[in-house]
C-alpha cells in the first residue's frame, strides 16, 4: 500500500504504452537504425583490426605529437602497446569502434540541434528540460528501451550511449553560437550576408573552439558508458570488465580497467588538443 492509497498516477504505464506505440509504428525506422549502426560499427572495427598493430601505434604517437607534444605521443604509444600485451587488442578496437560510432551520431544530431536552439528560443525552452532529464536520469534506465528496440548487442549500447553523451555537444553548440560577437554579426548583415552565410562563414568558425570542447565532453561521456553498455551485450573492454566481475577475476578486471583508463587519457588529451589548436588559430586570425 502506498502513501496515498486512494490517489495513484501510474506515469510509467503511459510511458510504456508510448514506447510500445513507437515500436509498432516506427518498426521500419528502428530496423534502418539497427542496420545502419551495425554496418558502421562493423566497418570501423574491421578497418581498425585490419591495420597492423605497429602502424596503429605509430598513428597514435603522431597524433599525440601533433596535438600535444613528442613526449605525450610516445606515452600514448606505450599505453596502446601495453593494452596489446594484455591480450586485449581486439577488445580495444571494438571499444574504439563503438565509441566512434556513438560520437559520430551524437555530433551529426547534436550540432544541428544546438544551432536550432541558438536560433529559436521556443525550441531551446522545450529542449532544456529534456537535456536535463537525459543527463540526470540513471544510466541504467537507458538500457531498457535500448533492449526493447534493438535487442542485445552493440547497437543497443550505441542507443544508450547516445542518450547519455549527446547533451554536452548540444548545450555547448547553443552557447557557442549565442556567444558570437553581435557587432560582427551586424557588420556581416549590413553587407548583405544571408542567414546561412552568417552561420557558415561567421558563427560556426567563431564558435568552433567551444563546439570542440563539447565534442571532447561527448566523447568522454560515451567512453564512460562502455562498462554499463556491456550489460546489454556490448563487446569490447567493458565486456571484459563485466566478465571479471562475474568471475571475481582481479587480474582481468585490472587489465581491462586500466586499458579503459589509457584509452580515456588518450582520447581526452587528443580531443582537447584539437580544441586548443582551433583556439590558437582563432586568436592568430
Q: Which three cell numbers stand for residue 86?
A: 594484455
The predicted pLDDT at position 83 comes to 93
Do residues 45 and 97 make contact, with C-beta atoms less than 8 angstroms apart?
yes
- 1: in domain: no
The predicted pLDDT at position 6 comes to 66
Do residues 226 and 238 make contact, with C-beta atoms less than 8 angstroms apart?
yes
- 74: in domain: no
Tens-place pLDDT, residues 166-175? 999 999 998 8
Q: Which of 50-59, 221-230, 276-285 has the highest mean pLDDT?
A: 50-59
How far apart, in whole angstroms, are the C-alpha atoms of residue 273 and residue 64? 9
How far apart, in whole angstroms, are the C-alpha atoms of residue 48 and residue 42? 10
The predicted pLDDT at position 281 comes to 58
Domain count within the chain? 1
The predicted pLDDT at position 278 comes to 65
- 16: in domain: no
CA 281 to each of CA 96, 174, 197, 200, 285: distance values in angstroms, whole numbers, following the listed order: 29, 21, 21, 17, 6
* pLDDT at 47 exceeding the cut of 70: yes
Do residues 228 and 140 make contact, with C-beta atoms less than 8 angstroms apart?
yes
- 182: in domain: yes
With CA atoms as reference, report the closest residue to 166 among 104, 249, 78, 236: 104
- 67: in domain: no
The predicted pLDDT at position 209 comes to 80
Tens-place pLDDT, residues 251-261? 988 999 999 99
* pLDDT at 148 exceeding the cut of 80: no
pLDDT band at residue 282 using 50, 70 and 90 as cut-offs: low
Tell me which residue has cell 529534456: 130
* pLDDT at 74 exceeding the cut of 90: yes
CA 68 to each of CA 61, 121, 214, 220, 224: distance values in angstroms, whole numbers, following the listed order: 10, 38, 19, 18, 23
Do residues 211 and 203 make contact, with C-beta atoms less than 8 angstroms apart?
no
pLDDT band at residue 61 using 50, 70 and 90 as cut-offs: very high
CATH of the domain at 259: 1.10.3720.10
Do residues 142 and 160 make contact, with C-beta atoms less than 8 angstroms apart?
yes
* pLDDT at 194 exceeding the cut of 80: no
Tens-place pLDDT, residues 212-222? 888 888 888 88
Owning domain of residue 226: 26-50+86-284
How far apart, in whole angstroms, are the C-alpha atoms of residue 166 and residue 103? 8
* pLDDT at 7 exceeding the cut of 80: no
The predicted pLDDT at position 27 comes to 78
Phi, psi of 257 (to 5 degrees): -65, -45
How far apart, in whole angstroms, are the C-alpha atoms of residue 50 and residue 65? 24
Tens-place pLDDT, residues 86-125? 999 999 999 998 888 888 888 999 999 998 988 888 998 9
- 191: in domain: yes
Note the helical H segments in 120-236: 121-136, 139-150, 154-178, 182-190, 195-198, 204-224, 226-229
> What letter does residue 192 receive in the DSSP assignment?
T
> Span 53-78, mean pLDDT?
92
- 276: in domain: yes
The predicted pLDDT at position 255 comes to 92
- 198: in domain: yes
Q: Would you call 8 exposed, middle or buried from its count of C-beta atoms within 10 A (0-12, 13-18, 19+)?
A: exposed
> What letter does residue 202 receive in the DSSP assignment?
I
The contacts of residue 118 (CB under 8 Å, 6+ apart) are 124, 173, 174, 177, 178
Amino acid at each position: 500500500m502506498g502513501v496515498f492509497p486512494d490517489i495513484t498516477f501510474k506515469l510509467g504505464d503511459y510511458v510504456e504504452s508510448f514506447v510500445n506505440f513507437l515500436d509498432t509504428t516506427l518498426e521500419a525506422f528502428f530496423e534502418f537504425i539497427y542496420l545502419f549502426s551495425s554496418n558502421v560499427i562493423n566497418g570501423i572495427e574491421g578497418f581498425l583490426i585490419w591495420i597492423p598493430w605497429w602502424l596503429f601505434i605509430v598513428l597514435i604517437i603522431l597524433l599525440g605529437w601533433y596535438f600535444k607534444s613528442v613526449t605525450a605521443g610516445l606515452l600514448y604509444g606505450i599505453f596502446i602497446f601495453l593494452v596489446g600485451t594484455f591480450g586485449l587488442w581486439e577488445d580495444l578496437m571494438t571499444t574504439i569502434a563503438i565509441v566512434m560510432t556513438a560520437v559520430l551520431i551524437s555530433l551529426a544530431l547534436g550540432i544541428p540541434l544546438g544551432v536550432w536552439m541558438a536560433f529559436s528560443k521556443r525550441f531551446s525552452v522545450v529542449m532544456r528540460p529534456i537535456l536535463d532529464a537525459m543527463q540526470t536520469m540513471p544510466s541504467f534506465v537507458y538500457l531498457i528501451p535500448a533492449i526493447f528496440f534493438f535487442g542485445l548487442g552493440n547497437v543497443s549500447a550505441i542507443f544508450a550511449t547516445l542518450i547519455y553523451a549527446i547533451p554536452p555537444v548540444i548545450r555547448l553548440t547553443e552557447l557557442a553560437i549565442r556567444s558570437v560577437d553581435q557587432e560582427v554579426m551586424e557588420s556581416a548583415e549590413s553587407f548583405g550576408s544571408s542567414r546561412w552565410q552568417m552561420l557558415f562563414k561567421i558563427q560556426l568558425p567563431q564558435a568552433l573552439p567551444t563546439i570542440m570542447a563539447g565534442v571532447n565532453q561527448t566523447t568522454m561521456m560515451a567512453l564512460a558508458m562502455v562498462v554499463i553498455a556491456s550489460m546489454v551485450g556490448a563487446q569490447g573492454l567493458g565486456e571484459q570488465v563485466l566478465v571479471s566481475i562475474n568471475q571475481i577475476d582481479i587480474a582481468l578486471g585490472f587489465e581491462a580497467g586500466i586499458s579503459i583508463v589509457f584509452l580515456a587519457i588518450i582520447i581526452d588529451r587528443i580531443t582537447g588538443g584539437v580544441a586548443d589548436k582551433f583556439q590558437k588559430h582563432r586568436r592568430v586570425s
